Amino acid sequence: MSTTPRSALENVTIRRARPEDAAAGGHICYEAFCKINADHGFPPELPEMGAAVGMLSMMFSHPKFWCVVAEQNGRIVGSNCMDERSAVFSVGPITVDPGIQNSGIGRRLMQAVLDRSREQKAPSVRLLQAAFHNRSLSLYTKLGFDAREPMSLMQGQPLQFRIDGCAVRVAAMSDLDGANRVCERVHGHNRSSELSDAIAQGTARVVERQRRITGYVSAFGYRGHAVGETNLDLQALIAATDSFGGPGMIVPTRNAELFRWCLEKELRVLQPLTLMTIGLYNEPAGAYLPSILY
């Protein structure tokens, strides 16, 4: 593998991202993910350049995302983002121009957001790592992240059936407290800000048993997460969806009952991922699906 000399770092600066950096950052993000996936025989995660630019446009302008770019001689060569919408901060996507990777820029982009998380006194920082990528696994581990959970990205035909005793419906703002309680019970913290964004966008669903909220999904696909008191609650949400959204949904592989159920429903595994964390981490006390951030 070719390695760019560390001297390439000399004129690289890290600064806060601005909304107008999204086009250049999105270009690199798209190219970097296409290349790393193609090099390992995996399909691209982002369907086209516009999706990467759109994602970074949202993150670079959202008041609760803290994003940085690496600049070399006035040209953007990489970026990284941190979602600060809940007590748990989450990192990604981090990408470096494929022509200049492995020269220390990724380390600086990651260090910048970790410095910020310490300033903000975030109790926990999390991310999902592409498990086939030796470099990111090594870099994140050296920076203090612990590998916590193996995950499987899954995709397939929508199942479109109902599970007896479980009512799935569109979430409303009035469901927020009930849904947050489930998240707190499972994870020890809520994701209220993310969930209210999702409710406003119309992607969130709740599941009720005996007229009590027992689980929710903010959205299926990379951007969404789900929690349930039991696997049955997640199965009801999964069974009801009309799409697994973009690259697919992420299932904790060690939740063997749920993972096996998905496989029996003919969903396919596309890619392995690893949940990595710094700081506080509770073993979840219930069922969950992470987003691509955590």
Ligand X SMILES: CC(C)(COP(=O)(O)OP(=O)(O)OC[C@H]1O[C@@H](n2cnc3c(N)ncnc32)[C@H](O)[C@@H]1OP(=O)(O)O)[C@@H](O)C(=O)NCCC(=O)NCCS
Residue ranges of the alpha helices (H) in the chain? 22-39, 49-61, 105-119, 134-142, 176-187, 192-201, 231-240, 256-264
Q: Please identify the residue of the shown chain whose CB is closest to the bound ligand X.
A: 106
Which residue in the set 13, 134, 193, 243 belongs to the binding site for ligand X (CB under 6 A)?
A: 134
291: contact with ligand X by CB under 6 A: no
DSSP 230-276: SHHHHHHHHHH-S---TT-EEEETT-HHHHHHHHHTT-EEEEEEEEE
Least spacing, CB of residue 258 vs ligand X, in Å: 23
Site for ligand X in 33-62 (CB under 6 A): 33, 36
Near ligand X by CB under 6 A, which window of 90-98, 193-201, 242-250, 286-294? 90-98
Which residue in the set 40, 64, 135, 260 belongs to the binding site for ligand X (CB under 6 A)?
A: 135
Contact 153, 220 (CB under 8 A): no
Secondary structure element (H or E) that encloses residue 131, with its range: none
69: contact with ligand X by CB under 6 A: no
- DSSP character at residue 111: H
Least spacing, CB of residue 105 vs ligand X, in Å: 4
The CA distance from 90 to 78, in Å, is 18
Site for ligand X in 16-35 (CB under 6 A): 32-33
> What number of residues does the chain have?
294
Binding mask 92-111 for ligand X (x = CB under 6 A): --xxx----xxxxxxx----
Mapping DSSP to helix (H, G, I), strand (E, B) and coil, where does residue 179 land? helix
* The token pair that represents 73 in the structure block: 């001689």
- Measured from the CB atom, the residue of 139 and 199 that comes closer to ligand X is 139
The CA distance from 56 to 23, in Å, is 8
Least spacing, CB of residue 4 vs ligand X, in Å: 8
Least spacing, CB of residue 138 vs ligand X, in Å: 3
129: contact with ligand X by CB under 6 A: yes
Q: Binding residues for ligand X, per CB under 6 A?
A: 32-33, 36, 94-96, 101-107, 129-130, 133-136, 138-139, 142
